Amino acid sequence: MPSVSMKGISKYYGASSILANDCADLLVRDGEIHAIVGENGAGKSTLMKILYGLERPDSGRINLGGREVHVRSPAEAALLGIGMVQQHAEIVDEFSAAENVVLCAEPRRFGFVLDRRAARARFAGLAADNGFSLDPDALGSGLSVGERQELEILKLLYRKAQVLVLDEPTAVLAEEEVFSLFATLRRLAASGRTIIIITHKVREVRAIADSVTVMRHGKTLSRLAAGDVGEEELATLMMGGQSFAPALRTPRRPRPEDVSVVFEAQDLRYVLRGAARPAVDGVSFSLRRGEVLGICALAGNGLAELEDLATGFRRPSSGRVLLDGRRLPRRRGKAIGYVPQDRLRRGASLHSSVQENLAALDRDAFFPHGIRSVHRMVSFAEAAIRGYDIAATPEQRLGSLSGGSIQKVILARELNGNADFLVFSNPTWGLDIASTEFVYERILAARERGAAILLVSSSLDEVLALSDRVGVMSRGRLAGIEENGPTLDRAHLGKAMLGAGHAVDSRRAHAGRGLAMGRKP
Amino acid sequence: MKAPARAALTARLLGFGVAIVGAALLAILLLWGLSSSFSASLELFFLGPFRNAWYFGNMLAEASVLVLAGLGAAVAFGSRNFNLGGEGQVYAGAIAAAAILLGLPTASPPLGIGLALLGSALAGAALAWFSGRLKLSLGVDELISSFLASAIFVYLGGFLISGPLQDPSSNFQSTASIAPAFRLARLFPPSNLSTAAFASLFALGLAMFLSKRTRLGFEFGLVGRNAEFARYAGIDTGFYVTAPMALSGALYGLAGAFLLLGTQYKAMKGFTSGIGWSGIAVALVAGNSPSAILPSALLFAYLDTGAKAVMIGSDVTGDIVSVIQATVFFLVTARAADGLFGTRASRLRAGGKKAR
């Protein structure tokens, strides 16, 4: 009964000028497990947030069970029987599992007192019916990541959700937890519920879904039966062949004076508190002057953590990060240029002016003897605005600029000091073609002057377009680093990245060969 | 393209206006309901502070102490550190100053006053720094720890005043008066306005210079607006937890010292009369911006003085003073709620406007 159809959904985020959904269509039949796949920023989450009432579409229609509905808020979605498990579980740590489940819809005594016994009983019934083994009295703070997810699903079932949306449910799970989640989802589908799961792991689509919709650049490309489509075909559809790729740059031959190692990561391991497995697991690489090392991975595979470790934002649980042979300083100085993935929170002070943002890094220069040099600040801002073609004035509040302009301000600041080591994380995410091209030029210009550049990105196209050497991360491990070039097996890289790397790993173990990713014969 | 800055200024002025008009309307309503001679009370309330030198001078004297307390609150809030311990820190400053001056009755006035100011600043700073330190090393919420530490100190201070520092010749719970040589000159007799006002203006000017023109103020503002960005830019964010807390406490301590040196001459039990809290209100109305502290402190002192004039000159009871103060506080904090906690909401609003 609860089939879902979305037609012509468009959503434009004015503040960051991103067209997140571009006439997207979705059809999910009742009782089906449907996967939505796509790269980061393809618009999967936005589409589901629209279905769940967290975002309002600019245009388009939603039909639920054949009837047109308008979902204005998650509360309305709940009334319609739509529930969503977000990427980060929303659980009250101080409450028990049973209390968390009944929160906001509690069984009561005398109309206002929480009936704990009834809450536990409802919880136990729900858990037994659906094959969960959660302890109703366990505190939220004591639950593992997998259990927290089960609890989120229970919350939806308690509210009688018939359509369950899960946003990247496996990103944080260990292997066994994934199996148990999939078993749960199958049971729920068998009992007549409709399930939509967002993922970018091709293998999982084949393992769990009945049908799949591929999204790219905000558009829905095709709806396929999961059984009919091969992993590679799906990967190609997701990554979008060469048509979207910027022109491949010729890798630069290292010059003799460039051989010195600037940056080194030695056996980095990073374990998030409470995580089932390390986010970064035994990653080692070194970076010489005048080269770009591109590391590609999809979200949840340790790329964000690697970014933090390489820039000193987090300390590794074990292993070492060396810049010019020394440990990273406690606070980042001018020696590292860093364009973070999280531009709006980490990379920029939205409530400060453009010139203040530009002056934030090299404070020694803009505050001689501790006193602000208005002249230096303004003239640097004016130069940056001219040189980077930023549509703004020095006095303008940064938050009022477009996403592309904000990124240019960040670039102008980070590239100004001619640092020997540069880190770019998803530097063109959400940017239009012209801005992307501009960012690429700047990165390559920095390479030309001899900077060692670490590019971490979830776009394989981007990594292949800019890097001299390429590595791929999956589940916290760096699969291997290859010279970039026309002989590099792109499909293989894509597969390794999409979590199909297990075969590769085992082959590596059996054959004992050096690199996990082979070239074309 | 200074539009956003202008919009922010307009919003602040608007908030200011709302607080003033709202408080005035409520005062009128209360007087109308509570006073048998409505028009006389009304006149006393609104014009009383300007009627004679005593009221006018006292208003300025109150404002000068509120400037210090308001700066103290703004220094903490502006860097997202919530120092709610102003009461205790004012108390600590005053008691430290009293103890120093009573201990050195024959010191030369510049030396004595200098030591007293230093001691009071250190006492207030130590109390607040402690909360900042706890936040940094143990993750203790400074809002709660500063409030509780201050509450404890208020009783400790009460003990000091009625115990070791008690004036044996007095029946009140109070210290002895400081030597006349240490008392700051009165500017506007018979009112309490003293040269302490110059110290407040000096502190205000210094704060404005620091915040607008120095690296310290720049980094301070970056931390306050976005701590993650500040950390990313290599700023020692830990320093900007303990230092603003200590500076905030020092300013509160100085407010206590100037209250002692310029007005009271002795520390009595409960003599801070809520300056620590009023300082918060002043900072909130001013949006934590040093340049807006002076008008904000004057507004607060004006309303307070007007209420006192009514209390003395008409049949309205003293409670109206508290009610009106509470009203101002309420209106002010209601507005401040969007300035302090509404950054996300205002950003969304800005984004929404652009999308439309």
The per-residue pLDDT for B3 is: 47
Interatomic CA distance for residues A151 and A136, integer angstroms? 10
Asked if residue B354 is part of any domain, the answer here is: no
Classified as helix, coil or strand, B132 is helix
- Mean pLDDT (chain A, rounded): 84
**Greatest mean pLDDT range, A353-362, A452-461, B42-51:** A353-362
Return the higher-pLDDT residue of B254 and B30. Answer: B254
Residue of B nearest to A14 (CA): B355
Domain that holds residue B231: 3-348
List the structure tokens of B308: 């006192």
- pLDDT tens per residue, range A182-198: 999 999 999 889 999 99
Q: Are the beta carbons of B347 and A399 separated by less than 8 Å?
A: yes
Q: Of A271, A240, A290, which Cα lies nearest the Cα of A421?
A: A290
Q: Is the pLDDT of residue A289 over 60?
A: yes
B344 close contact with A: CB closer than 8 A: no
Q: Which residue has 């589409």 as its token pair?
A: A47
Share of chain A above pLDDT 70, in %: 89
The sign of the dihedral angle between the CA atoms of B132, B133, B135, B136 is positive
| Residues in Cβ contact with A351 at an 8 Å cutoff, skipping those fewer than 6 apart | A397, A398, A399, B225, B226, B343
Q: What are phi and psi of A254, to 5 degrees?
A: -65, 140
pLDDT band at A511 (very low <50, low <70, confident <90, very high): very low
Asked if residue B356 is part of any domain, the answer here is: no
Residues of chain B contacting A349 with CB distance shorter than 8 Å: 222, 225-226, 229-230
Q: Which residue has 């306050």 as its token pair?
A: B224
**Could you give the angle at the alpha carbon of A361 between the alpha carbons of A360 and A365, nearest 5°?**
90
Q: Is the pLDDT of residue B86 over 50?
A: yes
Return the higher-pLDDT residue of B233 and B299. Answer: B233
Task: Indicate the DSSP class of residue A14.
Answer: T
Q: Judge whether B204 and B195 are in contact, CB under 8 Å.
A: no
Asked if omega into B190 is within 30° of 0 (cis), the reply is: yes
Interface of A with B (CB under 8 A): 12-15, 313, 331-333, 338, 340, 345-352, 356, 359-361, 363, 367, 370-372, 392-393, 395-397, 399-400
The per-residue pLDDT for A242 is: 41
Tell me which of A367, A374, A393 to substitute to probe the interface with B (most B C-beta atoms closer than 10 Å).
Answer: A367
- pLDDT tens per residue, range A457-482: 887 878 888 898 999 998 888 987 88
Residues of chain A contacting B236 with CB distance shorter than 8 Å: 331
Q: Judge whether A196 and A213 are in contact, CB under 8 Å.
A: no
Q: Are the beta carbons of A347 and B229 separated by less than 8 Å?
A: yes
| Residues in Cβ contact with A81 at an 8 Å cutoff, skipping those fewer than 6 apart | A2, A64, A160, A161, A162, A163
* Average pLDDT rounded to a whole number, residues B74-95: 91
Q: Are the beta carbons of B233 and A345 separated by less than 8 Å?
A: no
- pLDDT tens per residue, range A247-285: 555 555 656 666 788 999 999 999 987 777 888 999 999
Partner-chain residue, chosen from A332, A350, A359, that has the shortest CB–CB distance to B232: A332
Partner-chain residue, chosen from A15, A331, A361, that has the shortest CB–CB distance to B354: A15
Q: Judge whether B100 and B163 are in contact, CB under 8 Å.
A: no
pLDDT band at B166 (very low <50, low <70, confident <90, very high): confident
How many domains are there within chain B? 1
Residue of A nearest to B355 (CA): A14
Chain-centroid distance of CA B37 in Å reads: 34
Asked if residue B322 is part of any domain, the answer here is: yes
* Average pLDDT rounded to a whole number, residues B252-259: 93
* Average pLDDT rounded to a whole number, residues B168-194: 84
Q: Is the pLDDT of residue B332 over 90?
A: no
Interatomic CA distance for residues B87 and B299, integer angstroms? 20
Asked if residue B353 is part of any domain, the answer here is: no
Share of chain A above pLDDT 90, in %: 41
Q: Are the beta carbons of A356 and B5 separated by less than 8 Å?
A: no
Q: Judge whether A482 and A469 are in contact, CB under 8 Å.
A: yes
pLDDT band at A507 (very low <50, low <70, confident <90, very high): very low
Q: Is the pLDDT of residue B350 over 50?
A: no
Asked if residue B90 is part of any domain, the answer here is: yes
Least confident of A3-7, A39-43, B105-109, B138-142: A39-43
The one-letter code for the residue type at A435 is S
Residues of chain B contacting A15 with CB distance shorter than 8 Å: 350-351, 354-355
pLDDT band at A514 (very low <50, low <70, confident <90, very high): very low
Q: β-strands A421-425, A336-339: how paired?
A: parallel
Q: Which residue has 């915040």 as its token pair?
A: B211
pLDDT band at A510 (very low <50, low <70, confident <90, very high): very low
The per-residue pLDDT for B328 is: 66
The per-residue pLDDT for B348 is: 38
Q: Judge whether B73 and B83 are in contact, CB under 8 Å.
A: yes
Chain-centroid distance of CA A443 in Å reads: 22
Return the higher-pLDDT residue of A490 and A6. Answer: A6
Asked if residue B317 is part of any domain, the answer here is: yes
Asked if residue B355 is part of any domain, the answer here is: no
| Residues in Cβ contact with A187 at an 8 Å cutoff, skipping those fewer than 6 apart | A130, A131
Cα distances (angstroms) measured from residue B51 to each of A440, B21, B43, B61, B321: 71, 21, 10, 16, 18
Q: Is the pLDDT of residue B252 over 90?
A: yes
- Interface A-B, measured as beta-carbon pairs within 8 A, has a size of 90
Q: Of B53, B29, B55, which Cα lies nearest the Cα of B42?
A: B29
The per-residue pLDDT for B256 is: 93
The per-residue pLDDT for B338 is: 45
- Mean pLDDT (chain B, rounded): 83
CATH number for the domain harbouring residue B172: 1.10.3470
Output helix, strand, coil percentages for chain B, rounded to the nearest 5. 75, 0, 20
- Domains contained in chain A, CATH given: 2-91+143-239 (3.40.50.300), 342-418 (no CATH)
| Minimal CA separation from B241 to chain A, in Å | 16
- pLDDT tens per residue, range A364-420: 999 999 999 999 999 999 999 999 988 888 988 898 887 788 999 999 999 998 899
The ipTM (two decimal places) reads: 0.77
Q: Which residue has 């605005």 as its token pair?
A: A385
Residues of chain A contacting B230 with CB distance shorter than 8 Å: 349
B185 close contact with A: CB closer than 8 A: no
Q: Are the beta carbons of B355 and A349 separated by less than 8 Å?
A: no
Asked if residue B285 is part of any domain, the answer here is: yes
Cβ-based neighbour number of residue B53 at 10 Å = 12
- pLDDT tens per residue, range A198-208: 987 777 888 89
